[in-house]
């Protein structure tokens, strides 16, 4: 047998007896314990290993098929991944959920209890990190040869708790108990340099750190493909422990070099709004790309010689600007270590990379101080200067000596201080640039990156985001999935979400509607956030002023006043649920959170109001919690100021689960509304053009306050509760036009109440939302990337009989 191409591993058994035997073997041989003394943690880890083995066998066949095909690879570079829990996913993808449950019971454990021990690796902040995970799932499902590269942070996104209503951040030591899903691969470690000097183009780093990878398996659904996501941990080199200092009792000093090195992968940065540790963050970015590029070159050289084929066999997608140092790093590797000339290296580099932009907020476009780069990565700065030189020549050739334009487009910002503009480097150094929703891509080309779109119109694309229906419908919402499969006569929709369109006729079937409603009710009972018969109104996302949680809050306060004045005016009892985290240093967002908790108490303590209105704010929003909230939602709040939300993906998850959206014409809301139909979507507010015009004009939020008694009462109440800062910022600048959109929002909420009153018609709209959300599958997103940007196709693993 050819061990590389015709692997003949023993296929793990599929019968309950075989599964149970494997579970016992793992318990005794790998976990080293016995049935009599096993803890629940033992049971969990043993189950994880048993399921993992089934994926590992598929992984071996996938790797063999990839090796034989020597295909074009897609590499996804992302500083963040929010993978969610692994156990349920892997039980589903291996088809072992039932046998696993009965095997667990047979050895004396409750499956539900064991499942709760599965910890979600929170290696990301929000939508950007979850998108990365959805794309990995879809790439595997579509059999695309792909590897995700990232950092294995010891501490993921902080665990959120509330103390006196205020967010308190606690460390998220997610792998404290070990992580049964990981395969360490220490032999693939890489050496990464920092600081030092450059002499004639030769860089001598002053400090080196090791990058050690481990990978997790990324199975496809309904296929044997199992891809991987490879995460790097920083380690000190062997000599870093100072024995003589230790011998002299200098214990802290003895390990200081090791601690310094290992700090690189210690924590996920909560986001850019904190000044702290900026150099460490830059080190992380370089660490990620340096390790990953060397790993890619190593993999390339397994099957190819020379460099001619590199850009044909490799496409590297840069997830936002965090990994953009990959551009100068690949140039450096090709020139300094493999001795290619500039033009050849540049041609390869430009063809290899593509860049996705995820924002329109100017403050979110990363820049790095030139002196910091000069100190940390002196050779890279030289290369960036050279890239800029060539780039500005191209601009000059095309537009003439327009100094204003040259200054605007330069990769180096000169005023007020010298900085490297990572987004400019990204556009200059890649073959394709994309936004993440139609409107976003259009605004990118018209505003944020306009000069670049004028220079290279063909480089700009749109790829609208999507979400994986496996996790966000099948795993999160089993009862609805079962009903859908019954309605459609099969579960083909799991791999072809457009099939959901087949539900449309059932929206007019009263019996089906009733069952649909019963499922929603059952999910609300499971969530236990409030009365299952109330309208469950959810706003779940990161806290940011542009997303306008404060607007939702003004609505809640207005409802409170209306109920107090006359309870009969409010026709729909509501449970309003907020969830989300704020960047630790983002004080304005944290004040809004405290205010939500304060209002929640106020409402709960008022017996005249509490039967009609409830406000809940569960702590520590993450993928696991989203999977519980999304299936229970009736109303999805997508109320950002138009022109600010690049796409949103929570909006897609909620619509897919039959929630109706109340939203502005922003991000992917526009495409959701186009698809589900204007009648099944509650639209309000200024559009992006209008919002920009109001912002650019003489906007006076106080006029709205003066003219609208309900708004005035709401803001006064907020001020009176001791939140003068929140009230003041609304009445002062009102950066995100909360007051300008207030009345339109309230009117739209009145339409929601009216619609809720007719439950049959509401349920019809709910079914239509699901039926028409097929487009928002991340399978479609990946298909779009493959055809417009990656030019990559599938490779399917054999069945294991070959050889
Ligand atoms: C976020 C946007 C969202 C978008 C996700 C995924 C960043 C920088 N951007 O609107 O705010 O849905 O990216 O594209 O996290």
DSSP 601-624: HHHHT-TTTTTTEEEE--S---HH
**Coarse DSSP helix, strand, coil percentages of the chain, rounded to the nearest 5 percent:** 55, 15, 30
Place of tokens 């100021």: 641
Contact of 517 with 771, CB cutoff 8 Å: no
Q: Which of 76, 165, 246 is nearest to 615 (CA)?
A: 165
- Residues of the chain short of pLDDT 70, as ranges, are 1-7, 271-276, 800-803
Tokens describing residue 16:
């309950």
Cis omega (within 30 of 0) for bond into 416: yes
Atom of ligand 1 minimally distant from the CA of 356: 14
Taking the centre of ligand 1 as the mean of its atom positions, its distance from the CA of residue 133, in whole angstroms, is: 13
Helix (H) / strand (E) containing 663: strand 660-663
- How far apart, in whole angstroms, are the C-alpha atoms of residue 783 and residue 99? 34
- How far apart, in whole angstroms, are the C-alpha atoms of residue 600 and residue 614? 7
Taking the centre of ligand 1 as the mean of its atom positions, its distance from the CA of residue 489, in whole angstroms, is: 36
Q: Whose CA is nearest to atom 13 of ligand 1?
A: 128
Taking the centre of ligand 1 as the mean of its atom positions, its distance from the CA of residue 126, in whole angstroms, is: 7
Taking the centre of ligand 1 as the mean of its atom positions, its distance from the CA of residue 502, in whole angstroms, is: 31
- How far apart, in whole angstroms, are the C-alpha atoms of residue 632 and residue 717? 30
Taking the centre of ligand 1 as the mean of its atom positions, its distance from the CA of residue 785, in whole angstroms, is: 17
Q: Whose CA is nearest to atom 3 of ligand 1?
A: 648
Contact of 273 with 281, CB cutoff 8 Å: no
- How far apart, in whole angstroms, are the C-alpha atoms of residue 264 and residue 209? 9
Q: What is the pLDDT of residue 704?
A: 98
Taking the centre of ligand 1 as the mean of its atom positions, its distance from the CA of residue 645, in whole angstroms, is: 7
User: Ligand 1, residues 271, 359, 433, 541: which to mutate, most atoms within 8 A of Cβ?
Assistant: 359
Q: Whose CA is nearest to atom 12 of ligand 1?
A: 648
Contact of 558 with 519, CB cutoff 8 Å: no
List pLDDT tens digits, range 676-713: 999 999 999 999 999 999 999 999 999 999 999 999 99
Dihedral-angle region of residue 753 (phi above 0 means left; psi in -120 to 50 means alpha; beta otherwise): alpha
User: Ligand 1, residues 126, 135, 639: which to mutate, most atoms within 8 A of Cβ?
Assistant: 126
Place of tokens 């969610």: 84
Q: What is the pLDDT of residue 237?
A: 85
Q: What is the pLDDT of residue 415?
A: 95
> Catalytic residue positions?
358, 541-542, 547, 649, 653
User: Which phi and psi (to 5°) does residue 715 adopt?
Assistant: -70, -35
Atom of ligand 1 minimally distant from the CA of 649: 12
Contact of 718 with 726, CB cutoff 8 Å: yes
For CA atoms 714, 720, 726, 728, the dihedral sign is: positive
Return all residues near 54 (Cβ < 8 A) that are at least 6 apart.
12, 94, 96
Name the packing angle between helices 759-771 and 510-527 (round to 10°). Answer: 90
- How far apart, in whole angstroms, are the C-alpha atoms of residue 6 and residue 799? 10
- Report the largest interatomic distance among the alpha carbons of the chain, rounded to a whole angstrom: 83
Place of tokens 């590992």: 56
Tokens describing residue 599:
């209002």
Q: What is the pLDDT of residue 7?
A: 63
Pocket (CB within 6 angstroms of ligand 1): 126-128, 131, 320, 358-359, 364, 436, 465, 645-649, 667
User: Ligand 1, residues 79, 358, 651: which to mutate, most atoms within 8 A of Cβ?
Assistant: 358
User: Which phi and psi (to 5°) does residue 419 adopt?
Assistant: -145, 155
Q: What is the pLDDT of residue 8?
A: 73
């Amino acid at each position: 047998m050819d061990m590389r191409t015709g692997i003949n591993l023993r296929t793990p058994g599929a019968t309950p007896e075989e599964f149970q035997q494997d579970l016992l073997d793992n318990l005794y041989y790998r976990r080293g314990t016995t049935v009599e003394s096993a803890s629940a943690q033992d049971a969990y880890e043993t189950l994880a290993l048993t399921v993992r083995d089934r994926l590992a066998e598929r992984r071996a066949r996938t790797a063999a098929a990839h090796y034989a095909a020597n295909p074009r690879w897609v590499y996804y570079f992302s500083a963040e991944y929010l993978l969610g829990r692994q156990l349920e996913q892997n039980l589903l993808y291996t088809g072992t959920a039932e046998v696993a449950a009965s095997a667990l019971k047979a050895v004396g454990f409750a499956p539900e209890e064991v499942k709760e021990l599965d910890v979600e690796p929170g290696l990301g902040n929000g939508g950007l990190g979850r998108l990365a995970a959805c794309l990995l799932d879809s790439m595997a499902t579509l059999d695309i040869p792909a590897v995700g590269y990232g950092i294995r942070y010891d501490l993921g996104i902080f665990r959120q708790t509330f103390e006196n209503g205020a967010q308190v951040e606690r460390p998220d030591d997610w792998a404290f108990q070990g992580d049964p899903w990981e395969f360490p691969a220490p032999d693939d470690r890489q050496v990464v340099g920092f600081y030092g000097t450059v002499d004639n183009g030769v860089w001598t780093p002053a400090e080196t750190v090791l990058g050690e990878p481990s990978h997790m398996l990324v199975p496809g659904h309904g296929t044997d493909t199992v891809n991987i996501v490879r995460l790097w941990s920083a380690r000190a080199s062997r000599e870093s422990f100072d024995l003589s200092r230790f011998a002299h009792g200098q214990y802290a000093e003895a390990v200081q070099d090791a601690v310094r090195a290992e700090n690189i992968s210690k924590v996920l940065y909560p986001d850019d709004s904190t000044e702290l540790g900026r150099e460490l963050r830059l080190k992380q970015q370089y660490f990620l790309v340096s390790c990953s590029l060397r790993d890619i070159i190593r993999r390339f050289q397994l099957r190819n010689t020379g460099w001619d084929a590199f850009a044909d066999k490799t496409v590297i997608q840069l997830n936002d600007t965090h990994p953009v140092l990959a551009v100068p790093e690949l140039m450096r590797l090709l020139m300094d270590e493999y001795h290619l000339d500039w033009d050849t290296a540049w041609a390869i580099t430009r063809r290899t990379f593509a860049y996705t932009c995820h924002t329109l907020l100017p403050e979110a476009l990363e820049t790095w101080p030139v002196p910091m780069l000069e100190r940390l990565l002196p050779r890279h700065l030289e290369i960036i200067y050279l890239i800029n030189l060539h780039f500005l020549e191209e601009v000059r050739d095309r537009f003439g000596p327009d100094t204003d334009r040259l200054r605007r487009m330069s990769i180096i910002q000169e005023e007020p201080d010298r900085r490297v503009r990572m987004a400019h480097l990204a556009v200059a150094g890649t073959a394709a640039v994309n936004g993440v929703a139609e409107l976003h891509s259009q605004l990118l080309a018209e505003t944020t990156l306009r000069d670049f779109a004028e220079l290279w119109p063909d480089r700009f694309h749109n790829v609208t985001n999507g979400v994986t229906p496996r996790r966000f419908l099948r795993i999160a919402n089993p009862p609805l999935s079962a009903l859908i499969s019954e309605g459609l006569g099969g579960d083909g929709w799991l791999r072809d979400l457009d099939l959901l369109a087949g539900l449309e006729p059932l929206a007019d079937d009263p019996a089906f509607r009733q069952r649909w409603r019963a499922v929603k009710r059952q999910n609300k009972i499971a969530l236990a956030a409030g009365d299952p018969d109330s309208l469950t109104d959810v706003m779940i996302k990161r806290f940011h002023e542009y997303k306008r949680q404060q607007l939702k809050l003004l609505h809640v306060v207005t409802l409170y006043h209306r109920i107090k004045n006359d309870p009969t005016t409010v026709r729909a009892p509501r449970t309003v649920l907020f969830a989300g985290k704020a960047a630790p240093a983002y004080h304005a967002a944290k004040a809004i959170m405290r205010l939500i908790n304060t209002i929640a108490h106020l409402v709960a303590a008022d017996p005249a109001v509490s039967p009609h209105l409830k406000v809940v704010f569960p702590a520590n929003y993450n993928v696991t919690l989203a999977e519980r909230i999304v299936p229970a939602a009736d109303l999805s709040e997508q109320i950002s100021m138009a022109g600010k939300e690049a796409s949103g993906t929570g909006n897609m998850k909620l619509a897919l689960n039959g929630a109706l959206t109340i939203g502005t014409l922003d991000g992917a809301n526009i495409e959701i509304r186009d698809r589900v139909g204007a009648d099944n979507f509650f639209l309000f507010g200024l559009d992006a053009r209008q919002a920009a015009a109001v912002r650019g004009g003489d906007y006076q939020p106080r006029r709205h306050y003066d003219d609208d008694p309900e708004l005035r009462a709401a803001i006064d109440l907020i001020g009176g509760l001791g939140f003068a800062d929140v009230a003041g910022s609304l009445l002062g600048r009102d950066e995100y036009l909360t007051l300008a959109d207030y009345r339109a929002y309230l009117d739209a909420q009145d339409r929601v109440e009216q619609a809720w009153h007719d439950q049959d018609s509401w349920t019809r709209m709910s079914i239509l939302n699901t039926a028409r959300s097929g487009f928002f599958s991340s399978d479609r997103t990946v298909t779009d990337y493959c055809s417009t940007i990656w030019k990559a196709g599938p490779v399917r693993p054999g069945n294991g009989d070959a050889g």
